[in-house]
């Protein structure tokens, strides 16, 4: 009798994702898991003070969030030195950071997130 071994991906990074309601798909979460990332999805505009300290490796911010929320969230993350990257939900012309992109695109976003130099410039 052969024992079938399942291939499990080790999750290395927990990343908070702040995204417009209804935009996160299971396929996107699985693609990020294959690249070693567990996405902690916030699609309900949670109070900023309640979530800032739970962004383990950093955060991805959907540029289509309400402008005032996106601004306040980004400002608070900058003040708390939480690395974050602005993303789009789908690949768009001229966009380098698509949440639903290819494995190479995911790794590119992850590199930007993990290797920010804290000069205040966000991608």
- Secondary structure of 62-88 in HEC code, one letter for each residue: ECCCCHHHHHHHHHHHHHCCCCEEEEE
Quote the pLDDT of residue 73. 92
Helix, strand or coil, per DSSP, at residue 36 = coil
Quote the pLDDT of residue 80. 83
Run of H or E including 17: strand 13-18
Virtual torsion, Cα 33, 101, 111, 16, nearest 10 deg: -60
* Residues 4-45: tens digit of each pLDDT: 434 455 668 899 999 988 889 999 999 999 999 999 999 988
Q: Are 72 and 65 in contact (CB under 8 A)?
A: no
This prediction has a pTM of 0.81
Q: In what order do the strands lie in the sheet with 13-18?
A: 37-42, 13-18, 59-62, 84-87
């Amino acid at each position: 009798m052969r024992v079938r071994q399942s291939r499990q991906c080790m999750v290395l990074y927990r990343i908070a994702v702040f995204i417009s309601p209804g935009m996160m798909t299971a396929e996107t979460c699985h693609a990020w898991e294959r690249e070693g990332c567990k996405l902690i999805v916030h699609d309900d505009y949670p109070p900023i003070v309640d979530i800032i300290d739970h962004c383990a490796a950093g955060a991805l911010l959907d540029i289509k969030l309400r402008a005032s929320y996106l601004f306040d969230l980004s400002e608070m993350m900058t003040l708390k030195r939480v690395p974050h990257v602005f993303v789009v939900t789908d690949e768009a012309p001229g966009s380098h950071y698509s949440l639903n992109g290819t494995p190479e695109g995911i790794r590119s976003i992850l590199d930007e997130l993990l290797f920010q130099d804290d000069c205040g410039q966000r991608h």
